[in-house]
Amino acid sequence: MSKVVYTSQVRIERQQGPRRLAWLPAVDEPVRFGVHSAIAEHYGVSPEVNDPSPATLDYVVAAAAG
């Protein structure tokens, strides 16, 4: 059995609808997640998003591409 090398300490706070704040290691301010026009309909939000934000999917793709 292998030894656990790292456990990420993350806190998520749901705000309204798809909007969430995430407190991540090594960052002083929370990271904001939400939706933008390209994916809004999937989450049942109008494509004319008032306050667009990157979605969790955007962060996953960016992390995997790096």
pLDDT digits (tens, 9 = 90+) for 12-45: 999 988 899 999 999 999 999 999 988 988 888 8
pLDDT at 66 over 80: no
In which band, very low, low, confident or very high, does the pLDDT at 58 lie, cut at 50, 70 and 90?
A: very high
Domain range summary for the chain, segments of one domain joined by +: 11-65
Coil, strand or helix at 12: strand
pTM of this structure? 0.76
Burial of residue 35 (number of CB atoms within 10 Å: 0-12, 13-18, 19+): buried
